[in-house]
Amino acid sequence: MQKIKIFTDSCADLGADIREKYDIDFFKMCTVDNGKETPADLSDVAFIRGLYQEIRETGRRIFTTQVPMHEFERGFTEAVREGYAVIYVGCALPMSSSVNTANLVAKQLLESYPDAVIRCIDSTNCSLGEGMLAVLAATLRNEGKGVDEIVAEIEAQKRHVNQFVTVGSLDMLKKAGRVKGSAAFFGNLLGVKPIIISDYNGQNVPIVKVKGRKASLDKIVELIGQAVIDPASQTVYIAHADCEADAEYLRAALIERCGFKDAYIYFIGPIVGVCIGPDAIGAWCFGKKIELAI
């Protein structure tokens, strides 16, 4: 059976520990701060913390890029030359056009390597929702599944990824324009925290408003409990924008109240982080199918 290489990208928010455990590579997007372009390395915790500190101090918007074409060309070509089939689990298309770029590069690469096998998947998720699908792909590969089986399973499961995220402030979301919502919903929100899901198409959508930080964390636990299927067999994924104490609170509450077997915690990385801002936090699990489409 052909060897399979699993890729994701900087939006997946997987730390080096889990990427090494499951042999997952990733393509780097970039942050753009005052004209300086920096590859978004998910392993550089000091850089991630520094971004959040800068945003707290200045309030300045930091921009992002999609995965550069040359990144896909390098990664795909190296893998194909080494005899691998390639599966790329990419960020939701409403958030990034990187999957479209990857498909274009894959098509061009077939001209030189007609037997190459490259599959690019719109995960319809970002942050650890995207990351947990990359982990699923790697798990299936390690179980001996073939490319078509893996792709079919990721396509089947991607709309069973349930995301519930809250934010420290709405400022960065408003500046980045990465959340769909009416003016009424985002009106007078002093002290009010929205809970944001990823809809059927991968668009971030607020579904409820909660008064206060702790209440918003407890609401995430409640909503995860309502959405999850078979938590005892699952690891719940938690990502935070430099608010580790809240992440630990979520870990304990989700395991105790919802019955997850384990929890994985990591930072919301540079790309998602500069769009959502400091003190954002969320949890992801496999559960009920996402039907809402905005």
CATH of the domain at 206: 3.30.1180.10
pLDDT of the residue at 121: 98
Please state, rounded to an integer, the average pLDDT across all residues of the chain: 93
**Is 80 exceeded by the pLDDT of residue 191?**
no
Same domain, 81 and 219: no
Percent of the chain with pLDDT over 70: 94
Question: Looking at 112-116, 173-177, 253-257, 286-290, which range is the least confident one?
Answer: 173-177
Question: Looking at 78-82, 100-104, 184-188, which range is the least confident one?
Answer: 184-188
Place of tokens 């970002």: 126
Of 227 and 168, which is predicted with more confidence?
227
Query: Which of 127, 159, 191 is where one domain is finished?
Result: 159
219 is in which domain, residue-wise? 160-286
Structural domain contains residue 46? no
Measured distance CA(62)–CA(51) in Å, rounded: 9
Same domain, 10 and 153: yes
Same domain, 71 and 129: yes
Place of tokens 């392993």: 43
Same domain, 86 and 191: no
Q: Which domain CATH number covers 98?
A: 3.40.50.10440
Query: Which of 159, 181, 199 is where one domain is finished?
Result: 159
Same domain, 24 and 133: yes
Once rounded to an integer, what is the mean pLDDT over residues 33-47?
93
Structural domain contains residue 243? yes
Same domain, 165 and 151: no
Same domain, 152 and 245: no
pLDDT of the residue at 60: 87
Query: Which of 110, 141, 159 is where one domain is finished?
Result: 159
Same domain, 269 and 187: yes
Same domain, 203 and 224: yes
**Is 60 exceeded by the pLDDT of residue 231?**
yes
Same domain, 78 and 179: no
> Which among 198, 245, 186 has a CA at the least distance from the CA of 223?
198
Give residue 187's pLDDT band: very low, low, confident or very high (50, 70, 90).
very low
3-state helix, strand, coil in the chain (%, to 5): 45, 25, 30
Structural domain contains residue 213? yes
pTM summary value: 0.94
Of 120 and 169, which is predicted with more confidence?
120
pLDDT of the residue at 294: 81
pLDDT tens digits for range 154-184: 999 999 999 999 998 877 776 666 666 544 4
Same domain, 93 and 234: no
Same domain, 227 and 120: no
Residue 72 CA: distances (Å) to CA of 103, 129, 171, 177: 9, 22, 33, 26
**Is 60 exceeded by the pLDDT of residue 237?**
yes
Q: How many domains does the chain have?
A: 2
**Is 60 exceeded by the pLDDT of residue 185?**
no
